[in-house]
Structure 1
Amino acid sequence: MALTRDDVLTGALAILDEYGLGDLTMRRLAGSLGVQPGALYWHVANKQALLGAIADRILDGLDGGLPVGDWDTRITELAHRLRAALLAHRDGAEVVAAAYALQTGRGQTVRLMTEVLADAGLDETEAELAALTLLHYVFGHTADEQSHAQAAEHEPAGAPGALASGTARFGFGLSVFVDGLRARLV
């Protein structure tokens, strides 16, 4: 059976989930798929392209069935969905943030957020700036959560825990962001 792009992405996600981004190399991926590294380049141009494709896979379905209603409900739901998608894979926030920075993914997250915020009444420039701010909040918070979770894997049993769950901390920060936007719209 011939190697497919889907095989490459599935293999890359498996390595990412088990070992993390630092250990996701083209050589390791090729070995796990039982092919020579050169065979991967038929499906992805380089590691940056691979990360972009992985980011797209992580974000796949993010925009499906978004709730209707008030802008604040929609933007909050979108932010929570983005966080959940990033948390579903080890180092997911770092992968998607890198793909975004390198412009290698096809993610539509900023466009979706911008549309919701423009519907709220922000002009196009402010809506895009607010969407980018929210995107970076989600990336940063989620990357921090993932780092703490990985560090906790190496702590002895009974080590002190966090003050609040990651979800509670994320929700609080998100509510501060939404409240700030609401104040700008008045």
Structure 2
Amino acid sequence: MTNKQPVERLEPGTVVRAALELLDEKGLDALSTRAVAHRLGVRMNTVLWHVKTKARMLELMADAVVGEISLDALPDTPDERVHELARRYRRALLAHRDGAALVVGTYAAESHTLRFAEIFVTAFLDSGRSEREAAWTVWTALYFTLGLTQEEQAAQRQPLGDRLAGALSSTAHPSLHRTLGHITGGSFDERFEYGLTAILGQG
């Protein structure tokens, strides 16, 4: 579907919204400035005028995804606040097709991303962690969430267990074969909660 829109009404936010709609419909591999221009019914140069490059468009899209995270009604206790922020971050990624792959491929120093990061780091500092520990634990929690969510979204197309079961041998990979049920078992919700608890030292 092509959504015709007058050029004079275009702005970066309009381009980003159209790009996110295209992402949800066709996935990250199909995303391009040309495809977004076609969706908006304008020339590709018009899209580039507003977002400059595809890389910049992806940064703005990633920031928009993070901007969908509600920061209201967070727990007062710092450790509970950290856990809840990570949960909301994951839900925002899952709300868009290939959302984790989109965000992990960018480094968006934009308003929504910086606001979320500020609140996340503050929660770690409020819990009594040092500046270094707060910063590095934030990285660890975010990278874990991005990686697991990216695998979760990829598994919707081809489950990991299906690939591993045919590749593992009890003689060549005895430890992997022995633990296969745990590697592929459990829901992604369970894996996320377990991993985040381990990272935050709340076990």
Contact 1:9 1:54 in 2 (8 A): yes
Partner of residue 64, structure 2 = 57
Partner of residue 89, structure 1 = 96
Query: 1:163 Cα deviation (Å)?
Result: 2.4
Q: Distance in 2 between matches of 1:89 and 1:5?
A: 19
- 1:147 lines up with 2:162 in the alignment: no
Give the AA of the match of 2:199. F
Within the candidate set 150, 164, 168, 2:190 is matched to: 168
Q: 63-72 or 9-18, which moves further after superposition? A: 63-72
Partner of residue 48, structure 1 = 55
Q: 140-149 or 109-118, which moves further after superposition? A: 109-118
Q: Distance in 1 between matches of 2:73 and 2:41?
A: 40
- 1:29 lines up with 2:51 in the alignment: no
Give the AA of the match of 2:88. R
Give the AA of the match of 1:99. T
Q: Distance in 1 between matches of 2:85 and 2:150?
A: 17
Query: 1:104 Cα deviation (Å)?
Result: 5.3
Q: Distance in 2 between matches of 1:174 and 1:72?
A: 11
Of all paired residues, the percent bearing the same amino acid is: 33
Q: Distance in 2 between matches of 1:113 and 1:104?
A: 15
Give the AA of the match of 1:164. G
For the residue of structure 1 that corresponds to 2:36, the secondary structure is helix
Q: Normalized against structure 2, the TM-score is what?
A: 0.77
- 1:114 lines up with 2:136 in the alignment: no
**Aligned runs of 1:8-27 on 2, under 5 Å?**
8-27=15-34
Give the AA of the match of 1:177. I
Contact 1:66 1:74 in 2 (8 A): no
Q: 1:68 to 1:84 in 2, by over 3 A?
A: same
Over the residues paired in the alignment, what is the CA RMSD in angstroms? 1.9
Contact 1:49 1:104 in 2 (8 A): no
Give the AA of the match of 1:165. S
For the residue of structure 2 that corresponds to 1:151, the secondary structure is coil
Uncovered stretches (5+) of structure 1, i.e. residues with no partner: 156-161
Query: 1:44 Cα deviation (Å)?
Result: 0.4
Q: 1:66 to 1:133 in 2, by over 3 A?
A: farther
Within the candidate set 46, 68, 74, 1:67 is matched to: 74
Query: 1:115 Cα deviation (Å)?
Result: 1.0
Matched residue count = 171
Q: 1:104 to 1:48 in 2, by over 3 A?
A: farther
Partner of residue 180, structure 2 = none
Contact 2:140 2:199 in 1 (8 A): no
Q: 1:147 to 1:54 in 2, by over 3 A?
A: same
Contact 1:86 1:142 in 2 (8 A): yes
Query: 1:141 Cα deviation (Å)?
Result: 0.7
Contact 2:98 2:153 in 1 (8 A): yes
